[in-house]
Structure 1
């Protein structure tokens, strides 16, 4: 595919400044002359940059944020109740911060404002709160005490939250929708390559298949492992690698987060 970007502001190395000129791209490489079949795009007056690379992101997590209930601006019980009042069998939400809310959204509070199963994850992703309906639906009493998890309060932390993710898996359609939404969010800001960590609440082979199907964003996956034997799964994932998808790093948690009060500090 070839493109001619017409009239943009392009950085000139010899001049040390931006100049107005056409930019020609052929098969992903900048060229001196336009290709005969180049697609012309008018970028008059706009600055033309190389694509940005995000070195630490969550592609699917970013997409899920676009699709799930957003709690970032909730600063009262009333706003929390309004945000969670959505018609879904299981309500997933993310973004709360006890410093903004003014309180910890514990099980008792969630029970008082919503009867459907609900789990709300803090903005850092290291702690979540669930109501009684959600706890009973997935028999989470067994996780009490793990990494400070308190089922009586409905508070799930670290490995307990990971265990929930492994049991409440996203469907193929949800994964695909999250990837699409996340890709659009990154491209909107000129991010064309992402070093991502996405192995949360998704069946592994499904994740590999969906990431390998991306054709408009380069993804360098960091596989999150909790056990040494998990490293062998990287070899399976590498069978899906292509021009836009690579799996060449592992991610290990050694600590928690300060905001969730799970860090060793």
Structure 2
């Protein structure tokens, strides 16, 4: 059975603006592209695109799928604009919560407030008697009420763990936990059961498919109990549905444990690079900088690991023939891990991955270009907190914030993602941000406008780029003979529609292995 897809514009992404009239698909693969006349004799059925526009299947190159599902399950406070509103929304939920329940709010961004300050521990304690966790939008900082702190045994005397901060003022807990300190609570909450994980995963996948995503590179294996627990959830949901393709990064803390399990990959779920956090984030001023923060002259952020630890982890990955993917935001963090990569390169033909790569200069760009390294960017990061980051870094240093064009000009492989639940995992939002470098509704020329890229380059991030970064660009990311029949089909042409309308273009179909796995409307 061979199906001919035709009747609309079909972008191959092989070259700028390249289109074909028809695509012949059989057994989940593209067997030919060309004209309708040449291919129709070989088709047993025809799928009429009815004027819609087809692209290779979009992939989010960096997100946390289960974490995104949790955001869909819990209280989303990402649009809250003042502290009183935050306390009111959470307070309403706390009123109906039992004493043993866990109330979780996700997406706090105090830089949107008139006064950018967090609620005090006293203020959140007054909301109710349930356990309460408020996750900042960066997910590198949480606010925990006294009951949640007590659950983890955190007192005024508890020292901060390595790579994290238990914040105290005059020796008293504030409820703020940063980086590894927050794992003392969030990795041990009792409601993280197999059924909870599976429900979050199902909700996430349904949402991702509606955004036109055929797959995602996710890091979830160290946050939900023993790694076998999330792995089994992926097996039950992803392998069973066969509607979404997941590439799983493996946190260094569970890397060896997963290796001993001898888990095998499938067409819909595969195991990828070792994941290491090098530093924190700008939001909590824990991103590691060469020079101090402008608004905290005694603080340069922090490196999560020593150089010796980083060398150990990278060598461990190499012993297993594996690449490494690192969270590195500050310039010192990027510089530090690149030095390790230089001494311990990946297997021939493979590339390591720098995720975020948020603050660069010409020296760092040159180092990146000299190594077998790819960059995993989140274009939406330029939107949310640029002004706050500018205040923390200063105008000169901020010229290197959230690069894109600079990376592409140096020939680096660059993929695009959302880091959901931090950003909305709609690739159209990322494309808009990459092209305009401004928030929706704004009219200026863009934050660091010198880093704007073309629409073709932006779509490339979510198609070919997402395949290149995991070495699969020989069979994914393009519409070409021999490639997987993964397609994202929109109502409009992303490369020509008015740019302000682009984020609102509707997905018509999401297609995986030639099968429609999401339809926004009935055919015909």
**Are the structure 2 counterparts of residues 16 and 120 from structure 1 closer, same or farther at C-alpha, using a change threshold of 3 Å?**
closer
**Are the structure 2 counterparts of residues 67 and 143 from structure 1 closer, same or farther at C-alpha, using a change threshold of 3 Å?**
farther
- The farther-off stretch of 40-49 and 52-61 is 40-49
Structure 2 runs not aligned, ≥5 long = 32-38, 289-299, 301-524
Give me the whole-angstrom Cα distance separating, in 1, the residues matched to 2:47 and 2:141.
Answer: 46
- The farther-off stretch of 80-89 and 213-222 is 80-89
Match of 1:131 among 145, 154, 174: 145
Find the residue that maps to 1:140 and give its secondary structure: coil
Give me the whole-angstrom Cα distance separating, in 2, the residues matched to 1:11 and 1:62.
Answer: 30
Partner of 1:112: 126
Partner of 1:211: 234
The answer on 1:256 being equivalent to 2:280 is: yes
Asked whether the 8 Å contact 2:11–2:56 carries over to 1, the reply is no
1:144-184, CA deviations, whole angstroms, 9 ceiling, x for partnerless residues?
Answer: 43322126101111111122222115211221121112212
Partner of 2:26: 26
Asked whether the 8 Å contact 2:251–2:275 carries over to 1, the reply is yes
- The farther-off stretch of 196-205 and 124-133 is 196-205
Find the residue that maps to 1:173 and give its secondary structure: helix
User: What's the Cα RMSD here?
Assistant: 2.7
- The farther-off stretch of 183-192 and 125-134 is 183-192
Give me the whole-angstrom Cα distance separating, in 2, the residues matched to 1:259 and 1:120.
Answer: 14
What TM-score, normalized to structure 1? Answer: 0.85
Which is richer in strand?
Answer: 1
Q: Return the offset for 1:50.
A: 0.9
The answer on 1:52 being equivalent to 2:58 is: yes
Partner of 1:172: 194
Structure 1 runs not aligned, ≥5 long = none
**Are the structure 2 counterparts of residues 43 and 67 from structure 1 closer, same or farther at C-alpha, using a change threshold of 3 Å?**
farther
Give me the whole-angstrom Cα distance separating, in 1, the residues matched to 2:3 and 2:149.
Answer: 54
**Are the structure 2 counterparts of residues 124 and 3 from structure 1 closer, same or farther at C-alpha, using a change threshold of 3 Å?**
farther
Give me the whole-angstrom Cα distance separating, in 1, the residues matched to 2:158 and 2:104.
Answer: 19
Q: Return the offset for 1:7.
A: 2.3
Corresponding pairs, count: 259
Partner of 1:223: 250
Give me the whole-angstrom Cα distance separating, in 1, the residues matched to 2:8 and 2:23.
Answer: 8
Find the residue that maps to 1:115 and give its secondary structure: coil
